[in-house]
Amino acid sequence: MPCFYVCLDIRLLEFRYLANMKTTKGKAARSSKEALKPVDDIKVGKRKAVSKPEKSSKRQTKKEKKAKKDPNKPKRPPSAFFVFLEEFRKTFKKENPNVKAVSAVGKAGGEKWKSMSEAEKAPYEAKAAKKKAEYEKLIKAYNKKQESPADGGDEESEVNDEDEEEEAQEEEEEEDDEDDD
């Protein structure tokens, strides 16, 4: 696609973003625009086209040219919403086998997510928190490796006993305090 289209898109996105910030200062922005829009015609709009920010693209879209992909680099932990989405996707696809657009699931999931109460989101957040904890551990190891990729040593070409410390699989205790009234 021509770059000027992207530029225009970015400009529009920026404008919208600034407008949202002015109106509601932050996260409620998305909710507001959705609130004043009928669900039938929710245009929710592209949240943020993953395009080059016209500036130094340090975190480019995927793999531009630099930014070597490190298979060791742990991917970011799924947020509570994503944890919920994973489950929601199954349900949604089950009820809507004809729908193949990921955006449909995304929208539906988003609405459902907002519809859910904190108590319902709690288990997902708990799981997300655990994922985050593991991520921190992984990223720590990753950073260390990045810092000291090669241990200063005259290691001969022999079997490399690089036993990466496996993540301790501690069983998570699920608390079921579902006490209805």
Partner DNA sequence: ATATTGATTGTTACT
Partner DNA sequence: AGTAACAATCAATAT
| Binding residues for DNA (CB under 7 A) | 1, 14, 17, 21, 27, 30-31, 34, 42, 44-53, 57-64, 75-82, 85-86, 89, 93, 100-103, 105-107, 109-111, 113-114, 125, 128, 132, 135, 139
Shortest Å, Cβ 9 to DNA: 8
Shortest Å, Cβ 38 to DNA: 13
Question: CA 106, CA 46: separation in Å to the nearest integer?
Answer: 12
Q: Which is nearer to DNA, 93 or 145 (CB)?
A: 93
Shortest Å, Cβ 125 to DNA: 6
Shortest Å, Cβ 148 to DNA: 17
Percentage helix, strand, coil for the chain under 3-state DSSP, each rounded to 5: 50, 0, 50
Q: Which is nearer to DNA, 78 or 123 (CB)?
A: 78
Question: CA 12, CA 14: separation in Å to the nearest integer?
Answer: 5
Query: Is the sign of the CA dihedral 74, 75, 77, 83 positive or negative?
Result: negative
Q: Which is nearer to DNA, 148 or 157 (CB)?
A: 148
47 by Cβ neighbours in 10 Å (0-12 / 13-18 / 19+) ranks as exposed
Mind giving me the DSSP string for 130-179?
HHHHHHHHHHHHHHHHHH-SS-SS---SS-----PPPPP-PPPPPP----
Shortest Å, Cβ 136 to DNA: 7
Q: Which is nearer to DNA, 62 or 151 (CB)?
A: 62
Q: Which is nearer to DNA, 131 or 172 (CB)?
A: 131
